[in-house]
A and B are shown apart, each in its own frame.
Chain A
Amino acid sequence: MLKINNLTVEIENQKILKNINIDIKTGEIVALFGPNGSGKTTLLMALMGYDKYDITEGKIFFKGKDITNLSIDERVKMGIGMMFQRPPVVKGVTVNDLINLAGDVETDYSQLSNQLNADAFLNRYLNDGFSGGEIKRSELLQLISLQPDLLLLDEPESGVDVENVELIGRTINDLLHENLIIEKNGLTQKQRHEKRKRSGFIITHTGHILEYVNADRAIVFIDGHIVCKGNPGEVLNMIKENGFEECKKCDQRV
């Protein structure tokens, strides 16, 4: 689904990511760990096509097509959707305005909005005075309205209380398995996993989100490099025990 080939990204002539290679298959969920400032957000912004993130080397392929030079909206139309860590305030544009423009006009979002506890901020301006949890729930509502095939999730649990982490985690998991939402109770985790079509790329600092979303693999970033790859649970445990520094020495090193 997504192939990142030897990607080097600069911000204002400063190299942030160096020769990154990542492959995410259809239906696969990959977790991305790394200390603050290691370049996780930079990678997702570059995948989205943000202007400030200069791709100076390498290519991005999505569904087999080279998207390195496509505009943001063209990528979105191809099926990439992102949940931002710190989205900007847009005065005068409500959450409702945007989901109705972004989503399918035929769809009724009221039930979804209700489920996400979003009714209270639907008619507020985007991210204007939103709490941490409200930002995430609004981002998620927008993401669902886009029905993306690849979900780029930038710290979906950061700044959110326990209750919201659970709501957000479960909703993300449902979205990833959306073709199964109705029949999910009759299916085992393994069966659900096999039927899954959507892919996910999840940045997480704490790993909490992984209690609700089962990642297949994990990648660790330090200083704009991939330093480690492995089983998400094992990698997370190692980070928790020894910190990221130890990760650098990890034997599964790439």
Chain B
Amino acid sequence: MNKKLEMLTTEKKDEHPYQEDLSKLSAADKKRMIHAGIDLDSGDKSGTFLMKDQSIVHCNIAQDSVELLSMEDASRKYDNLDDYWWKLVAPDKDQYTKKVKENDGQGYFIRAKEGQKSIFPVQTCLYLEHSGTVQTVHNVIIAEAGSEVDIITGCTSKEKSNQTSAHLGVSEIYVKKGAKVTYSMIHNWDEDVKVRPRTGVRIEEGGQFISNYISMKAVKDVQMNPAAHHVGKDASSSFNSILVAPQGAHLDIGAQVFLEAENTSTEIVSKALTTGGEIISRGLISGQGLKARGHLECQGLVLSDKGRIYTVPELDGRLSDIDLSHEAAVGKVAQDEIEYLMARGLTEDQAISLIVKGFLSAEIKGLPEILEKEIDDNVKKIEKDAF
């Protein structure tokens, strides 16, 4: 960072006006949001939360099965929020969580109601508008017993400037008994943004947590390593990441999964592709419960000699009756695959695009449509960067 974190200012909460009608957002804002995976047409039907710098610009939902509130409104409404507040992420974990704590109180609160399944994904968008500032966000997601909810979080910033900005986000996610949460995050930052999400997940008996993370743009540097605690029997999780690092980008992305209860399971799969940037792909699975199962996988594609992919797999087996595994492969696009597709009439460029696209989306189950579209849109750009 060319400026120390302490020196970055935080914008005021009333800097940007509340916008009741999403269609009245500026064209530029809309465009950025769409690229961050936010579907403006479905807008309030789904539920949309928009935070620009420190201001809540929009927060509305028409689905009865889920509550979507700003954190301020949530703390006015519920007096037991302390049970969920800073319980999965420690405020003194690092300088970034400390900064969020200093500025605490702004972010979203999502609560999926007991036994209710939401039809539409709840969308949240965190938008960093003013360069040279730091955006701090603190979110809480609660999926009550037996509920099901999809959440799409798009994080984005304004066009490139010369000043470094930072986005610091603390998210605490509670998946209660038998609940299912699909949490998809698209990062669409610019080259001068430094990003530090800090996420904790707690999964109770029979709960399922699915995380899909995509970062395909030229972000300056992202570092995150969410921790998921499987505290109840049969709790499961999967963490899928699709990471593309253009020149200048530094992505340090991982997941730490603690299989603390009986028969819990997880799968961590990351697809890393560099056209010149650096990707560190981490994964830690700790097997502490009887019959815990975990698989860690990283597939890397290096399309430029300037790029680097570094994988750090860690398995921690603490019982005999567990099953943990990992596999990793890093290399370039295989010549025999390119030639095979050319032997079906594709040009070399077409063959490479198809392989790259396949590489990024293969084996990631249940990828939301909007993320698939994001991948398609980016494949062309990847080739341009790489060749």
* Chain A interfacial positions (CB closer than 8 Å to B): 48, 50-52, 71-73, 76-77, 82, 84, 87-88, 90-93, 97-98, 101-102, 125-126, 142, 145-146
Contact = CB atoms under 8 A, between A and B. Distances in A.
A154 to B, nearest CB: 11
B361 interface: yes
Contacts of A84: 340, 343
A146 B340 contact: no
A73 B362 contact: no
7 contacts: A73-B348, A88-B337, A90-B341, A90-B355, A101-B346, A101-B354, A102-B345
B76 interface: no
A125 B354 CA distance: 12
Nearest to B361: A92
A82 B343 contact: yes
Contacts of B183: none
Contact of B334 (A71, A73, A88, A145): A88
Given A90-B341, A92-B358, A93-B354, A73 B336 contact: no
A51 B345 contact: no
A89 to B, nearest CB: 8
Decide if the interface of chain B is mainly helix, strand, loop or mixed. Answer: helix
B342 A88 contact: no
A77 B361 CA distance: 29
Given A93-B355, A125-B358, A125-B362, A88 B345 contact: no
Classify chain B: how many residues form its interface, as a range: 20 to 34
A86 B328 CA distance: 24
A71 B348 contact: yes
B163 interface: no
Given A73-B343, A92-B359, A93-B355, 11 more contacts: A71-B347, A71-B348, A88-B340, A90-B340, A90-B341, A91-B358, A92-B355, A93-B341, A97-B358, A102-B346, A142-B344
A174 B133 CA distance: 70
A48 B354 CA distance: 20
Q: Which of B339, B350, B361 has the most CB of A within 10 A?
A: B339
Nearest to A72: B342
